[in-house]
Amino acid sequence: MPADCDAWENDRSTLCYDCESCKAGVLAQIKRDWKKIAAVNVVLLVFLLLVYSVGCCAFRNHRDEYRYPRFKRARYP
């Protein structure tokens, strides 16, 4: 047990957070959580970019196809 953990207090506002090793543990947990959140955000961003790209391509193809519907070539037998 590190010497700084002897600083334990039962006061609800303090508890173990006056202890340097506890602060390091909390910081490590927060870093781990943020890394997971960052990975999820990257996956979500890639997914949204893919959906946006497909939507833009579909919109462009639809617009070009129906730009001049009256002037389409007639099919002659």
- Judge whether 52 and 33 are in contact, CB under 8 Å: no
Q: Could you tell me if residue 74 is inside a domain? A: no
Q: Could you tell me if residue 10 is inside a domain? A: yes
Residue-number span of the structural domain to which 37 is assigned? 3-68
Better-scored residue on pLDDT, 23 or 65: 23
Mean pLDDT for all residues in the chain: 76
Q: Could you tell me if residue 39 is inside a domain? A: yes
Q: Could you tell me if residue 73 is inside a domain? A: no
Residue 16 reports pLDDT greater than 70: no
What is the per-residue pLDDT for 52?
Answer: 97
Compute the C-alpha angle 7/11/14, nearest 5°: 60
Q: Could you tell me if residue 46 is inside a domain? A: yes
CA-to-CA distance for 17 and 26, rounded, in angstroms? 9
Give the chain's domain count.
1
Q: Could you tell me if residue 16 is inside a domain? A: yes
Better-scored residue on pLDDT, 16 or 31: 31
Average pLDDT over residues 17-38: 81
Average pLDDT over residues 69-76: 61
Q: Could you tell me if residue 51 is inside a domain? A: yes
Maximum C-alpha span of the chain: 96
Q: Could you tell me if residue 77 is inside a domain? A: no
Average pLDDT over residues 22-39: 88
